[in-house]
Amino acid sequence: EAGVTQSPTHLIKTRGQQATLRCSPISGHTSVYWYQQALGLGLQFLLWYDEGEERNRGNFPPRFSGRQFPNYSSELNVNALELEDSALYLCASSEGQGWNTEAFFGQGTRLTVV
Amino acid sequence: AQKVTQAQTEISVVEKEDVTLDCVYETRDTTYYLFWYKQPPSGELVFLIRRNSFDEQNEISGRYSWNFQKSTSSFNFTITASQVVDSAVYFCALSEDGVDSSYKLIFGSGTRLLVRP
């Protein structure tokens, strides 16, 4: 069974541009989570989508947004990129809501803003 | 408030040594879940174990073992006879079971383990 897949693996953007990151959850999983792992800041919760809706977001500005499609895949969009947005963005999926079910992460997208 | 502390920033051992990674957590909930993840240099987070707060039994999986002690709010991870392939960053994480918090996984800052040949 395929795990959580993310694309692209690496992404280089210029400050001010927009970045789109994609995530395909494990088959049967309806919840998708996005985390940012920036150097020195650890893993921080970004967004949670379930059944096509944004259920909650972490302490990030509105230029971080996303959506979940009917097939439960998800996109993370980052507008007006800033240098400090450079980070590894990890997506995870779970079968139900919350981490009381098994949850697995993808390999991440490494975003570099220059 | 929820918090996970991994006081050991980096540990270096020689192959075949045993090593224990410490994790201390804080939570107000009586029902919560604790996790360990491994992050090799390639970047992905590899799930190792999930334990709920009502199950205090220690767990062993091959060379890995986990010691969960609610009395000290600790969930420590031991690798027996370490190998070079164990070199990675290891994260401990916590999730509470409440409606308003079950979606969020709180991570510790990670412990970088280096196993030297």
Q: Give the pLDDT confidence score for residue B98 in this predicted structure.
A: 66
A86 CB neighbours in chain B (<8 A) are none
What residues in B contact A42, CB-CB < 8 Å? 107-110
Q: Shortest Cα distance from A35 to chain B (angstroms)?
A: 9
Q: Closest partner residue to B103 among A43, A88, A98, by Cβ?
A: A98
DSSP-assigned letters across all residues of chain B? --EEE---SEEEEETT--EEE--EEE-S-SSEEEEEEEE-TT-PPEEEEEEETT----EEETTEEEEEEGGGTEEEEEESS--GGG-EEEEEEEEE-STTTTT--EE---EEEEEE-
> Do A31 and A97 touch, CB atoms closer than 8 A?
yes
**What DSSP element (H or E) covers A32?**
strand A31-38
Q: pLDDT value at position B101? A: 62
Q: B111 CB near a chain A CB, below 8 Å? A: no
Q: Which residue has the tokens 């890995």?
A: B64
Closest Cα to residue B16, out of B114, B65, B82? Answer: B82
**What is the per-residue pLDDT for A98?**
67
Nearest Cα to Cα of residue B105 among A50, A62, A92: A92
Kindly list the residues from chain A whose CB atom is less than 8 angstroms away from the CB atom of residue B104: 45, 48, 56, 58, 99
The answer to whether B81 and B115 are in contact (CB under 8 A) is no
CA angle at B101 for the pair A105 and A22, rounded to the nearest 5°: 30
Tens of each residue's pLDDT in chain B, 117 residues: 789 999 999 999 999 999 999 999 999 888 888 999 999 988 889 989 888 898 888 888 899 999 999 999 999 999 999 999 999 999 999 987 766 666 788 999 999 999 999
For A82-99, what is each residue's pLDDT tens digit? 999 999 999 999 887 666
pLDDT value of residue A39: 87
Distance, CA of A17 to CA of A99 (rounded, Å): 33
CB pairs under 8 A between A and B: 62
Residue A106 has a pLDDT of 93
Which pLDDT value is given to residue A42? 87
| Spatial distance between the Cα atoms of A112 and B55, rounded to a whole number of angstroms | 42
d(CA B37, CA B6): 13
Tell me whether A66 touches chain B (CB under 8 Å).
Answer: no
pLDDT single digits (tens) A12-70:
999 999 999 999 999 989 999 999 999 888 899 999 998 899 988 899 999 999 999 99
Query: What is the DSSP secondary-structure string of B14-27?
Result: ETT--EEE--EEE-
pLDDT reported for residue A40 = 80
